[in-house]
Amino acid sequence: MKRLLTVYSIATIFGLSAVASEGLLEKAKNTGLKAIPENKIELYKLIDNPKNPITDEKVELGKKLFFDPRLSKSGLISCNSCHNLATGGVDGVDAATGHKWTQNPHHLNSPTVYNAVFMQKQFWDGRSPDLEDQAQGPIQAAPEMAATKEHVEKVVNSIPAYVKAFKHAYNDPKFKPTFKDVADVIAVFERTLVTPSRFDEFLNGCDKALSKKEKEGLKIFIDKGCVSCHNGVGLGGTMQPFPAVGKYKYANIGDFKGDKNGLVKTPTLRNILQTRPYFHNGAVWDIKEAIKIMGETQLGVKITDEEADKIKAFFKSLTGKKPYIRYPELPASTNKTPKPDLH
């Protein structure tokens, strides 16, 4: 009888645990948290741009240009310099640093390029509506790649392999790539940089995908109200007031105030443990401190050490599987290719 009671007790505990997990899953879905689609067709509905359709040829060409430093004035800086795909899609410094080691004049941190396709707006002030428009900015920005449209066009059109690749990608034997075309194919490549994680498996019904502590962290994350901004497929990406209800203790670092309405783009939490430092000005290096600050600044609630530790555990489940990226072999320059300018 004692053994039967023990077995019954264990079964009861597991049964209750399963019910609790089902309740948490429904709660997560009801608050707007969504999984990266497993089905490729459904995924492409989310990440494709009808005005700039994804094709294998554009992706491969965009990848090469993403890694090509010759697009920059100095010939030293590529898109990958600030959005390093080997280090979470970021540069790992507090302020983006570009041409002649110039820091971003507003002390803005480089957001990750992974899962950027799920963001409703691009840049911290949301000034770009999509990745195609965003890709044009850093190339021309003086503190970043410091190039001109003319420089980029001269580089690409001076290299026969690039010209041939563009003609093939656009199925046009007379195609002559412009600056916009370069940005467009880079954006196509960036659209493919999505990172499904164990959290997506949980949202798709796999209860074992998350540990007990990660589930506890998810519950706290929801109950505290973090999902009011960090939701959707990207767990971020909308424009929100910052600070909202409390003072941001590091507001004196840089002069960024958001867009004209004081709104700031909510960063994605996917791969968040790989993308420190945190906040628009890169002022915080400890994720638990960042979690507590968000509670005080955005929600007006206190998050304890224990709660922050559990939320951090949940964040671990957001570390996703990166697409395999083989560093490309870039085509050789010619006598017509603009020379590097370090000044």
Residues with catalytic function: 144
- Residue 166, Cβ density class (10 Å: 0-12 exposed, 13-18 middle, ≥19 buried): buried
DSSP 290-316: HHHHHIIIII-----HHHHHHHHHHHH
99 has binding-site annotation: yes
229 has binding-site annotation: yes
Tokens of 171: 């199925």
Beta strand extents in 205-300 (DSSP E only): 239-241, 263-265
83 has binding-site annotation: yes
Tokens of 218: 């998810």
- CA dist 23 and 92 (Å) reads 37
- CA dist 318 and 23 (Å) reads 20
- CA dist 297 and 91 (Å) reads 26
Let me know the angle formed at the C-alpha of 283 by 95 and 233, rounded to the nearest 5 degrees: 85
The residues that bridge with 240 in the sheet, in sequence order, are: 264
Q: Greatest CA span in the chain, whole angstroms?
A: 89
Q: Reduced to 3 states, what is the DSSP secondary structure of residue 264? A: strand
- Residue 110, Cβ density class (10 Å: 0-12 exposed, 13-18 middle, ≥19 buried): buried
206 has binding-site annotation: no
294 has binding-site annotation: yes
Evaluated on CA atoms 48, 53, 59, 63, the torsion sign reads negative
- Contact between 118 and 131 under an 8 Å Cβ cutoff? The reply is no
DSSP 126-184: --BSSHHHHHHHHHH-TTTT---HHHHHHHHHT-HHHHHHHHHHTT-TT----HHHHHH
79 has binding-site annotation: yes
| Residues in binding site for heme c | 79, 82-83, 99, 226, 229-230, 294
